[in-house]
Amino acid sequence: MKHIIIALLVMLVVSSAFTQTQEKTYTVKESQLTAQQKAELTVQQQKENVGSWVGLGKEVGTAMKEGLSALNSEVNKFSESPAGQFTMFVIAYKVIGNDAFHFVIGFPLLVVGFCVWVFFYYRNCVTRRIAIKVSGTLFSRQKEYSVVNENNNNTNMNRWGHFAGLVVFLLICSIVLFSGGCNGFAK
């Protein structure tokens, strides 16, 4: 019985081998081909060449996608650790730290300096009256006033001096505020 089953299997394999037809290939010189055959061969070669490049591009794209997704997950894990947070702070400082430093120093300097300038300008250049002597009780007070900084040549020079000081101060504040980007190009 075993011999019959083995014989049937051998006959099945042999008969399937005979049923396949094999195509013959010939090698022909290019000068013996017609123009149409040459064009067909050129198109076929180009299709094979393009197909290989498409496959290569797909493989490179898949490899890049996998590599970047792995890198992304590892960076996310690292950024959640204390060392990663410190590293992120250092990177952020390197990117915007110089500009932020100039803004943090320059803007308060501008606001406080301008307020001081207004105070001194009012104190030294604006004509105003001040109380010299106050007499009497709370409801019947008598006040004597004196005029300070009357319009004279000295007051006009004070005004010009204060405006010149304001221009110099604004120039210095502008340099402090807006010079942060210049250092980045020089490095």
In terms of average pLDDT, the best of 87-96, 101-110, 159-168 is 159-168
| 187: in domain | no
Mean pLDDT across 157-170:
90
User: Which of 149, 94, 99 has its CA nearest to residue 126?
Assistant: 149
Residue 86 lies in a domain: no
Write out the two tokens for 152.
């004279």
Name the pLDDT band for 60 (thresholds 50, 70, 90).
confident
102 in the same domain as 149: yes
Q: Is the pLDDT of residue 160 over 80?
A: yes
101 found inside a domain: yes
Q: Is a pLDDT exceeding 70 seen at residue 182?
A: no
Domain that holds residue 122: 97-181
**Predicted local distance difference test score (pLDDT) of residue 9:** 63
Specify whether 74 is located in the same domain as 128: no
- Same-domain check for residues 66 and 104: no
Residues 104 and 173 in one domain: yes
Asked if 56 and 104 sit in the same domain, the reply is no
pLDDT band at 116; cut points 50, 70, 90:
very high
* 68, pLDDT greater than 80: yes
Q: How many domains does the chain have?
A: 2
What predicted TM-score, i.e. pTM, was given to this entire model?
A: 0.46
Same domain for 73 and 110, yes or no, is no
Same domain, 177 and 108: yes
The whole-angstrom separation of Cα 94 and Cα 74 is 22
The answer to whether residue 136 sits within a structural domain is yes
> 104-108, 138-142, 169-173: lowest mean pLDDT where?
138-142
Residues 163 and 115 in one domain: yes
Q: pLDDT band at 67, cuts 50/70/90? A: confident
Region 86-112 average pLDDT:
86
**In a domain? residue 89:** no
The answer on 149 and 116 residing in a single domain is yes
Which tens digits make up the pLDDT trace of 8-34? 666 655 555 555 556 677 677 777 778
Q: Pick from 177, 174, 179, 187: which is nearest to 94 by CA?
A: 187
The reply to whether 20 falls in a domain is no
Task: Decide if pLDDT at 186 tops 50.
Answer: no
pLDDT value of residue 47:
74
Per-residue pLDDT averaged across 116-132, rounded? 84
Percent of the chain with pLDDT over 70: 80
Pair 120, 165 in one domain: yes
User: Is residue 70 in some structural domain?
Assistant: yes
Query: Helices 82-125 and 153-178 meet at what angle, rounded to 10?
Result: 170
* 101 and 164 both lie in a single domain: yes
Q: Which of 56, 178, 48, 55 is nearest to 105 (CA)?
A: 178
